[in-house]
Structure 1
Amino acid sequence: MPLTSKSLPEYWDTYKPHSGDGMPPAPVVDSFEWTQYPGHGPGADFLGRPRTALELGSAEGREAVWLARTGVEVTALDLSPAQTARARLWWEGTPGLSFVNAEACEYLADTSTTYDAVYSRWGAVWFTDPERLVPLIGRRLNPGGVLALSQAEPIEGFYGPQAMYGNGLSGRRLPVLRWSYSPEMWRDLLKRSGLTEIEASVLPAPEPENVGTLMVRAKAPAKPAVPRRRR
C-alpha cells in the first residue's frame, strides 16, 4: 500500500480493538487529560474558558464529553467511521455534544462555523501535515480563540513526517505518517500562520527518563477595537 493518508481510516477503525461480543462499556470520564500519564500536566483550563470547541481526532470522546458536561458546546471530529459510531452509541444524548465523521482539513475547509477553541489531544494534528492544517484552524477560530494540542515529544534531530506501520510489525502493511516538530518549529509555524501568544514546550514525564509530552498553545488575534469618532 502506498504511503498516503488513505490508510488512516482503516488504522483508526482498528485502534484499541475490542475482543469479545457486543459493545464494550463506555470509559469513565472523570478528568480531562492532555498527557499519556494520568493526573500529570494541565487539565481543561489549558483551553481557557471556551463556549464552543472543536476536537480534531476525538476517538473515544472522553475529553469532548468532559467539556460538554461543563457546559461547552463541543463538536468532536474523527476520521474513523468505527470510532465515530462507537462514540455516538456511548454518549448519545449528552447535551451540547455532536460527533462528526470527517477528515480534519476537509472539514475545516468546508465549514463556516467558528470556535472559541480547537484542540487535539494526541489526535489529528499529529497525523496531518501541520503546514496544511494550522492555517485552516486559524480561519475557524473566533478572535482570541485558542488552538491547543498535545502529542509525544519529538526525538531530537528527527523532524517532519515519519512513517510507521499502524498495525505493528506483523500482518498486512498499513503505513501511516505522523508529523514530529520541535517546539521551535511549532512556534515558527504558528507565527507564520498569524497566531499570537504562542507557547510550545516539552512537559517532562513524571519520571524524567520517560517520554515527555509536547504541549502547544496559541491564540487567534483579538478583534481590533473600533476607533471612536471624534465629535
Structure 2
Amino acid sequence: MSLTESWDRYAAGSKPRRTVNAKGDKTWLNWTQYADHGPDEGVLGPVAGRRVLELGSGSGSNLAHLVTLGATGHGVDIAPAREAVALERWGNLPGIAFHTGEATAFLSETDETFDVVLSIFGAVWFVDPDTLLPLIRSRMAPGGILAFSHVPPGSQGPKPAEAGLRHDRTPDEWGRSLTGHGFSDVCVSLIDPPEGRAVGTMLVRALVADPVAE
C-alpha cells in the first residue's frame, strides 16, 4: 500500500470536525488534539492580508478560520479524500484553495511565497525535517512565521499504522534543526493536557532569519 493510500484510508475513518465549538463559533483554530483546548490563532500574530500555507490541512477547518480573518490560504494534504471534504465544506470561501499532494513535492513545484506556514499534527511531524525545513524556508517571505504542533517525544499520538515513523524531536533538537535551516527566534511550548488526559502537546514557533544575519 502506498503512502497516499495509507493516509487516504486513515482520512476515511476520521471523524469530521464539529460545525460549532463550545463557544458557539463556526470557525476556530485548534493546535492540540483536544477539543476547546489550548491557544488560538494568536500564536501567529495578525493574519489579515497574509499568505498562509498549511501542510497537512486535513478537512480544511483550521485554514478556513484564518481565511475568515482576512488571510489568503493554501492547504496541502497527501490524502485525496481530505481535499474532497475540504472543498465541500469550505470551497465557497473566497481566498482559499486546497491541493492534494506530498508536502515536499508541492513546495518544490510552487512559485508562491508565504508569510505564514503551519502544520498541526501534519507534515512537519511526518517528513524528515532535514528535507522539509529547507523547502519551507525557501518558500517563505522575509519576516515569515512557521508554527507547528505534535505530541511530545515518546507520547502516543494519532497516525496511520502504515504511514511510517514520526519525527519526534525534543525542544532542543527542534531548536537546533530550525536555526540550522535558516530560522530564528525559536520558541517551544509544552501545553498541558486537559484534566483526565495524560498526553500534552508540543507547539513550536519560529521566524525566518534575517537574511543580513545569515
Q: Which TM bucket (shorter chain)?
A: 0.7 to 0.9
Match of 2:4 among 1, 9, 30: 9
Match of 1:43 among 21, 40, 52: 40
Flag as ranges the 4+ runs of structure 1 deviating above 6 A. Answer: none
Match of 1:207 among 195, 201, 205: 195
Q: Which runs of 5+ in 1 are unaligned?
A: 2-6, 157-163, 168-173, 225-231
Q: Distance in 1 between matches of 2:4 and 2:18?
A: 22
Task: Please state whether the residue corresponding to 2:134 is helix, strand or coil.
Answer: helix
What is the CA-CA distance between 1:166 and the residue it aligns to?
A: 2.4
Q: Distance in 1 between matches of 2:109 and 2:74?
A: 15
Give the 3 Å change call, closer, same or farther, for CA 201–25 of structure 1 in structure 2. closer
Give the 3 Å change call, closer, same or farther, for CA 141–39 of structure 1 in structure 2. same
Question: Which residue of structure 1 lines up, in the alignment, with residue 173 of structure 2?
Answer: 185
Q: Distance in 1 between matches of 2:170 and 2:181?
A: 17
Q: Distance in 1 between matches of 2:89 and 2:140?
A: 28
Q: Distance in 1 between matches of 2:159 and 2:35?
A: 26
What is the CA-CA distance between 1:46 and the residue it aligns to?
A: 0.8
What is the number of residues matched between the two proteins? Answer: 202
Give the 3 Å change call, closer, same or farther, for CA 93–211 of structure 1 in structure 2. same
- The structure that has the greater radius of gyration is 1
Task: Please state whether the residue corresponding to 1:176 is helix, strand or coil.
Answer: coil
Match of 2:160 among 166, 175, 179: 166
1:26, 1:90 within 8 Å by CA — same for their partners in 2? no
Report 1:39-78 matches (<5 A): 39-50=36-47, 51-78=50-77
Deviations 1:149-205 (A, max 9, x none): 00111118xxxxxxx9825xxxxxx35221111111000000101111111232221
Q: Distance in 2 between matches of 1:123 and 1:26?
A: 16
State the TM-score, normalized to the length of structure 2: 0.86
Q: Which runs of 5+ in 2 are unaligned?
A: 20-25
1:199, 1:218 within 8 Å by CA — same for their partners in 2? yes
Give the 3 Å change call, closer, same or farther, for CA 101–16 of structure 1 in structure 2. closer
Deviations 1:51-103 (A, max 9, x none): 11000001111101111111100001111111112211222211110001111
Q: Distance in 1 between matches of 2:197 and 2:17?
A: 33
Give the 3 Å change call, closer, same or farther, for CA 141–17 of structure 1 in structure 2. same
1:27, 1:62 within 8 Å by CA — same for their partners in 2? no
1:56, 1:124 within 8 Å by CA — same for their partners in 2? yes
What is the CA-CA distance between 1:30 and the residue it aligns to?
A: 3.0
Give the 3 Å change call, closer, same or farther, for CA 178–68 of structure 1 in structure 2. same
Question: Which residue of structure 2 lines up, in the alignment, with residue 139 of structure 1?
Answer: 138
Question: Which residue of structure 2 lines up, in the alignment, with residue 102 of structure 1?
Answer: 101
Residue identity (%): 39
2:57, 2:122 within 8 Å by CA — same for their partners in 1? yes
State the TM-score, normalized to the length of structure 1: 0.80
Specify the code of the residue in structure 1 equivalent to 2:124.
V
Give the 3 Å change call, closer, same or farther, for CA 108–166 of structure 1 in structure 2. same
